[in-house]
A and B are shown apart, each in its own frame.
Chain A
Amino acid sequence: MAAAQGEITQEMFEPVGADKKASEQISRKVVSTWGDAFRRFVKNKGALFSFFILVFIILMALIGPHLNNYGIYNQSLVRSNLPPKISALSWIPAFSGKENGVDIYQQRGVKQDFWFGTDQLGRDQWDRTWAGTQISLIIGLIAALADVFIGVVYGGISGYFGGVTDNILQRIIEIISGIPNLVWIILLILIMQPGLLTITIAILATNWVAMARIVRGEMFQLKSQEFVLASRTLGASDGRIIFRHLIPNSLGMIIVNTMFSIPLAIFFEAFLSFIGLGIRDPQASLGSLINNGFTILQIHPYQTIYPGLIISLLLICFNIVGNGLRDAFDPKLRR
């Protein structure tokens, strides 16, 4: 008002009016949830790097045993406890085939190369290590499937229906999770023979509980939102609402938690095999290989190093990728 003294008067202004079209226009390319998550994940160098290591390990587990033809079970005492040797890389001490300066290959007259060496019975560690990695990966896959097919469904039903159903289902979960995993798995191992099948059943029986709880919480939050009400008004069945609306909306959470439960399951298998209650000789598992190597760790450390390195890498990379995915999907970080 005080400034109205000059030449600027109100008549000089005219309202432009809101251009509805312009204000509603989307000036940037639309980014879907998945695209957004993908973009964030790719930006995370550590997670991307870990992802590629995982892909490498998975590929090696699949093709590694076919790269030579010693086989997983072939024994020969002539070639027992040979250190690793790769002729092309023999300038690296770890792959020279020498132990304490002595070329064991020459001493025994062994012509072939054993890339990761051999164990006490002369079995090729390279083949056995990758065969063990296959077991670990199978266990991880089973854990993921248990999460998705049991955990999500259980948690979904419990959270969606609520009331008495929820109460009963939650009491069951409370009892399942009130018993340490170790005890569950050992009780199962006692009834059946230790082996892949037993560990699979144990994982199917217990591994999904955390997932069920998370999905239940998500369901509680989502089911009272308007789009669910709208869908129900349009006559959608309960199953349709759960599987077409609620679960897709919590998919990010489900993926992230699946990624975290995979390394837990892999660790558990390795742990059980390590204490001799999992996969047993002659079958190979990373845990049992490490356990075998431990007995002669002081004399032939290479028998422990490679399986130990691979299981560690596997677990570290799964966890880092899981972290990367969580950051990529985390709604709190998204602005």
Chain B
Amino acid sequence: MLRFATRRLALALLVALTVSAISFFLLRLSGDIAIALAGEGARDIDIEAIRAQYGLDRPLLFQYGEWLLQVLGGDLGTSLFFRTSVGALVLDKLPVTLILGISSLLFALLISIPLGVLAAIYRNTWIDRLALSIAVVGQALPNFFFALILVMIFSIGLRWLPVSGSGSWQNFVMPTIALGYYVAPAFMRLVRAGMVEVLSADYIRTARAKGLSRRSVIVKHALRNAVVPVVSLSAVQLGYLLGGSVVIETIFALDGLGFLAYESITQKDFPVTQAVVMLLSVFYVLLTFVGDLVNAWLDPRIRVA
């Protein structure tokens, strides 16, 4: 187990390092940062001043090395745009994104587990097909468009919810639904498949034969087993949700990491973009790592692979 864990950890670190290098160089490939930072109205003197100020005239490899050393020392650098510490900026925005990610995950589980269970129990009936079509729509509808439909109904039509902002819990309702609905289908299919398999297992027949109530059989015996893979999928999906929040946070002007990422991209604030990309990928790598460990602990066969 320990050997497996160390190997996985080394792999995770390698992935994080590769992501950092790729994103660093891709960002630099996207154009002359000094011109971009100076903005539309800038004249020569403005651009040259910026180039000198941020040391953008030095070799790229040198700039990357310097950045990497800084990051390893716990310093994410200074935002070129806000001129404040990137670490502080990111920490400030992290809670909103975490709340959104976790609430979307809960929302997704809340709709997908009952739907998956119902679809499995009433396999091949209209209930199954309804659940399937809900899933198909969720997966097919781009979440920015779904967000717009929600806004149209709940903000403009009914005036129940504020369109944008992050001041109160009401601001999180539509983003949670828009983001959560998109990942729900994956869970639903997993629950349905798991339930279908489990329901035909011998021990369920035994449970039924013992005369246990239908409810007890489904919830206590079947669901508990069918839901195991959902746990490890949750870890991966949470990473996805954190990344997917870029679009949703921007649409709803929710002041989180995704919003910061979008702003930093449009402003060519590359230390911030770099930090957010880094942070999200480290999260993703970490969650996958934990998921792997949990799986390996549950199922010893994985450790050998």
A joins B in a complex: no
